[in-house]
Amino acid sequence: MLELLFNNQNTERVFFTLLKQKKCYAKNLSKTFGTAIFGFQNTLLKLEKIGILISYKEGNTRLFLFNPRYPFLKELTRFLEKAYQFLPKEIIKKYYEDSGRTRPRRTGKPL
């Protein structure tokens, strides 16, 4: 929907994912959308370089989130929230709703 505006479909996917999940990493995005990890890595690094995103390492994983010091963050998130409302429901359910636990439960742990 916004890929023409951002000139990249991955940018749109990163923004909507961050809007709903607050943080993300390239491998998870690649797995969720079924595309190559390289495109997401480049997009995340580009957005970090221009100051929209920041990152930190958690173990061996580099997590990305919106930069709270980005001067237009409030306007950007309002714009993304408005655009998100116009996404088809099946796209929202498939890609952006929290799917719950991603790691397997420890053996013998009670539900």
Q: Classify residue 90 as exposed, middle or buried by CB count within 10 Å of its CB (0-12, 13-18, 19+).
A: exposed
Instruction: Read off the tokens for 110.
Output: 């009670």
Closest C-alpha to 49, from 85, 11, 84, 5: 11
Sign of CA dihedral 35, 96, 14, 18: negative
Q: What is the pTM of this model?
A: 0.84
Domains of the chain, with CATH numbers? 9-96 (1.10.10.10)
Q: What backbone phi and psi angles, to 5 degrees, belong to 53?
A: -115, 160
* Spatial separation of the C-alpha atoms in residues 70 and 38, rounded to whole Å: 25
pLDDT tens sequence across 71-102: 999 999 999 999 999 999 998 888 888 665 55
